[in-house]
């Protein structure tokens, strides 16, 4: 990728090819967030992290230029933010408080170093805003023809049991914590980028995306810089949530995962799904937390009730309904959802 293809990038700065690895790391390290859980930080063969209750939660997720983001649409600091936010959300969905990240970045030699600096800035901003005390404790920098960001995130359960997908029980209330976004906005933002964030040939276009951000700040923000309710995860665990997950593939599909794992039916009240119930059910990348709670418990304020768990009747398959009626599922598959366009 070149400056001409990505006019939003700083054309004045050096590329990775023009600096040594050490010089690049010296520019990145001061920008990274520190972790309160660090016992041995970056600079040795490995880091050592505190796991005070004798366990740790771990999740990993890669973001790849092409299928997962386009430099024409995302600013570098958005990429770092989203790479952190999506992994933090998976930690929170277990009922844990995020403690630390390790981050591996692979990048073309022609990439301006300012892009890597921006990614580091975004990692720091996301940790500060979403999970204070969580920081980057290690990483890896490699050369690749494809810009790739791999984050592995850790969390502390604070003595609570992990909240799995399989614990929902008939009679439980089903509740959603949406954080700074609203269900369906991220998917609608992506649809806008694919239809109006492109040039006449259908290639991602930075100027068009910048205009869209001004016109639809909530939808583009939800897609490019999501603000999941990280702290709500540990609060749900402390309140006795019976099941929980990160809504990343659409509310309907992810709720069906809880239903299937728990052997129940989840029924949503469409009146509680906002002004675009089909977007709320079918959209992707919401990074809301969907949790089930026994009817009697005090549900944390970050959540609002949108449905209820029902026992399966004889012969009924586990799954979801909306206002008691069946709902057809869609979903995202990384090997089928990408057309290979550059940008």
Pick the binder of a second copy from 304, 324, 338, 341 (CB under 8 A). Answer: 338
330 labeled binding residue: no
CB of 213 or CB of 257, closer to a second copy:
257
Residue 308 tokens read as: 């209820």
CB of 62 to a second copy, least distance (A): 5
Residue 204 tokens read as: 């991602």
Pick the binder of a second copy from 140, 215, 295, 323 (CB under 8 A). Answer: 140
Asked if 341 touches a second copy (CB under 8 A), the answer is no
Q: How far apart are CA 243 and CA 75, in angstroms?
A: 35
Binding mask 167-206 for a second copy (x = CB under 8 A): ----------------------------------------
CA–CA–CA angle 134, 36, 299 (5° rounding): 55
Asked if 311 touches a second copy (CB under 8 A), the answer is no
Asked if 148 touches a second copy (CB under 8 A), the answer is yes
Cβ within 8 Å of residue 317, ≥6 positions away: none
Q: How far apart are CA 61 and CA 196, in angstroms?
A: 28
Strand, helix or coil at 192?
Answer: helix
Asked if 165 touches a second copy (CB under 8 A), the answer is yes
What residues form DSSP beta bridges with 141? Answer: 105
199 labeled binding residue: no
Cβ atoms of 246 and 289 within 8 Å: the answer is yes
Residues in the chain: 343
Which residues inside 24-63 make contact with a second copy, applying CB under 8 A?
Answer: 24, 39-40, 43-62
Asked if 73 touches a second copy (CB under 8 A), the answer is no
Pick the binder of a second copy from 19, 25, 208, 305 (CB under 8 A). Answer: 19
The crossing angle, in degrees rounded to 10, of helices 206-215 and 217-224 is: 120
Task: Report the phi/psi class of residue 184: left, alpha or beta, with left for phi > 0 and alpha for psi in -120 to 50.
Answer: left
Radius of gyration of the chain (CA): 21
Which residues inside 280-309 make contact with a second copy, applying CB under 8 A?
Answer: none
Pick the binder of a second copy from 36, 146, 159, 238 (CB under 8 A). Answer: 146
CB of 200 or CB of 335, closer to a second copy:
335
Asked if 336 touches a second copy (CB under 8 A), the answer is yes
Asked if 96 touches a second copy (CB under 8 A), the answer is yes
Of 102, 254, 259, 251, whose CA–CA distance to 183 is shortest? 251
* Binding region for substrate: 68, 285, 332
* Binding region for Mg(2+): 45, 59-61, 90, 140, 246, 249
């Amino acid at each position: 990728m070149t400056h001409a293809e990505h006019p939003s990038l700083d054309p004045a700065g050096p590329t990775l090819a023009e600096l040594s690895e050490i010089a690049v790391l010296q520019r990145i390290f001061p920008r990274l967030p520190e972790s309160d859980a660090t016992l041995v930080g970056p600079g040795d063969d490995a880091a050592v992290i505190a796991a005070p209750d004798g366990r740790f939660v771990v999740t990993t997720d890669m973001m790849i230029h092409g299928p997962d983001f386009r430099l024409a649409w995302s600013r570098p600091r958005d990429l770092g933010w989203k790479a952190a936010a999506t992994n933090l959300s998976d930690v929170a969905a277990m009922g844990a408080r995020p403690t630390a990240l390790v981050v591996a970045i692979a990048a073309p030699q022609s990439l301006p170093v300012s892009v890597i600096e921006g990614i580091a800035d975004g990692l720091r901003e996301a940790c500060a805003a979403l999970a204070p005390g969580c920081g980057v404790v290690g990483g890896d920098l490699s050369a690749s023809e494809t810009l790739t960001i791999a984050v592995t995130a850790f969390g502390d359960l604070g003595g609570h049991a992990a909240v799995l997908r399989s614990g929902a029980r008939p009679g439980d209330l089903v509740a959603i914590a949406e954080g700074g976004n609203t269900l369906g906005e991220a998917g609608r933002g992506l649809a806008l980028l694919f239809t109006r964030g492109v040039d006449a040939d259908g290639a991602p276009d930075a100027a068009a995306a910048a205009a869209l951000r001004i016109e639809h700040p909530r939808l583009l923000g939800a897609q490019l810089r999501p603000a999941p309710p990280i702290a709500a995860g540990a609060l749900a665990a402390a309140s006795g949530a019976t099941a929980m997950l990160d809504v990343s593939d659409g509310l309907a599909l992810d709720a069906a995962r809880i239903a299937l794992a728990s052997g129940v039916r989840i029924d949503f009240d469409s009146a509680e799904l906002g002004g675009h119930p089909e977007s709320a059910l079918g959209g992707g990348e919401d990074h809301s937390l969907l949790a089930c709670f026994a009817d009697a418990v005090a549900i944390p304020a970050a959540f609002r009730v949108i449905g209820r768990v029902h026992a399966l009747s004889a012969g009924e398959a586990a799954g979801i309904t909306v206002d008691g009626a069946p709902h057809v599922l869609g979903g995202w598959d990384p090997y089928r959802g990408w057309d290979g366009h550059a940008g």
